Amino acid sequence: MTGQLAAPAIVVTRCNPFGHATDAGPRHLMGGLYGPEYEGRIKWECTNPSDGVWRMECAHGHRGQPMNLCRPHVGMIAKRMAGICPPCVMPPVARGLFEDIKRAQGAYASAYMTGVRDPAILRPLEARANELAEAMNELVADGTCHRCPLTLTERS
C-alpha cells in the first residue's frame, strides 16, 4: 500500500428502458422481428437512476434482455408493453413464413408500382402472397403461434 487513500464511490446506473443510454438503441424490437429502423425518429433517454434490473418473462420460459429501470418505467412497461411474448407469437417457423410473405407482397407491390397491370403477371404474385398468408393463419389456428402475456420480473 502506498499510503494514498481513495475516496469511496457509489456507482449509480441510469434507467435505460430502450437502450439509448448505453448503446445504439433497441436491437430487439418485437424480439428481433424488426430492426432499429422501425423504432421511429424520436430517440430519448431517461435521466432517472435505475431502481433495479428487470427482465420480461413468459410462462413458456422465454426471457428478454435485462433492463436497468426506474420505478416509473417499470409501471409503464408492465402496463403497456407486456401484451405478447414475441417468441410465442412468432416462433421460428412463423418468422420464416413472415419473411416469405413480406417478399411476396414486395414482389407484387414492385410489379404494380412499375406499371405492370397484366393479370397474367399479377395474379400469380397475388396468389403466392395469399397462399403464404393462409399458411400463417393455419399456424395461428393450430396454436403454433399464440398470444402469451409477459411478466416484468426484478432480477436485482
pTM: 0.74
Coil, strand or helix: which one is 69? strand
Single-letter amino acid, residue 80:
R
Render pLDDT for 37-96 as a digit per residue (tens, 0 to 9): 777 788 778 899 999 999 999 999 999 889 999 999 999 999 998 889 999 999 999 999
Render pLDDT for 95-145 as a digit per residue (tens, 0 to 9): 999 999 999 999 999 999 999 999 999 999 999 999 999 999 999 999 999
Contact 66, 53 (CB under 8 A): yes
Of 31, 18, 39, the closest CA to residue 95 belongs to 31
d(CA 81, CA 63): 14
**Higher local confidence (pLDDT), 9 or 12:** 12
d(CA 93, CA 83): 21
d(CA 68, CA 18): 10
Coil, strand or helix: which one is 127? helix
